[in-house]
Amino acid sequence: MPRIDGKTDDWSMVPDSYVYDTSYLNDTEDGHGTDIDRDDLDVKVTVGWVKGLNRLYFRYEAWDDFWDFGRFNPKGYLNDIFE
């Protein structure tokens, strides 16, 4: 089971087939589609499942050259979602 401590070494047991990166993203808000510049935004999400506890965990790693939490979208998007 992963520990929520800021260290990622316990995720090494998760196979690469459970890792999703920027190539899986689709920008539906700003119209970039799947043409996302990794020098602007690069993410990696690892999915972990603990069967005995029936829990799903996500490790989210992101690099962004500019992160604006003050950006507002009237549809409810506030740069603070993960879906």
Does this model's pTM top 0.95? My answer is no
Rounding to the nearest 10 degrees, give the CA dihedral for residues 5, 77, 44, 42. Answer: -120
- Quote the pLDDT of residue 59: 92
Give the chain's domain count: 1
Angle at 72 between CA 29 and CA 69, to 5 degrees: 100
Full pLDDT tens readout for the chain, 83 residues: 778 888 889 999 999 999 999 888 877 777 777 888 888 889 999 999 888 999 999 998 988 887 766 666 666 666 656 66
- Domain of residue 51: give its range: 1-83
Q: Is residue 61 within a helix (H) or strand (E), and if so which, with residue range?
A: strand 55-64
Contact 46, 58 (CB under 8 A): yes
Look up residue 40 and give its two tokens. Answer: 């602007």
